[in-house]
Amino acid sequence: MAPKHRITLKDILNISIDIADKNGLSDITLANVSKRLGIRSPSLYNHINGLSGLKIELAYQGTKGLYDEMAGAAIGKTGKDAIYSISYAYIGFARNNPGLYEAISLAVKVDSAKVQDQADKILKLMITLLKTFPLPEELLIHHVRMLRAFLHGFVTIERDGGFGIPLDINESLQIGLDTIITGMLGNEKI
The string of DSSP codes covering 98-158 is HHHHHHHGGGGTS--HHHHHHHHHHHHHHHHHHTTSS--HHHHHHHHHHHHHHHHHHHHHH
The count of other CB atoms within 10 Å of the CB of residue 146 is 14
**Domains of the chain, each with CATH number or no CATH:** 1-48 (1.10.10.60), 63-186 (1.10.357.10)
144 contact partners, CB below 8 Å, separation of at least 6: 123, 126, 127, 130
CA distance 70 to 86: 5
pLDDT of residue 108: 76
152 contact partners, CB below 8 Å, separation of at least 6: none
pLDDT in tens, the chain (190 residues): 454 568 999 999 999 999 999 999 999 999 999 999 999 999 999 999 999 999 999 999 999 999 999 999 999 999 999 999 999 999 999 999 999 999 998 877 888 899 999 999 999 999 999 998 888 888 899 999 999 999 999 999 999 999 999 999 999 999 999 999 998 887 655 4
pLDDT of residue 186: 77
pLDDT of residue 4: 55
Q: Which of 151, 152, 134 is nearest to 188 (CA)?
A: 134
Q: Say whether pTM exceeds 0.85.
A: yes
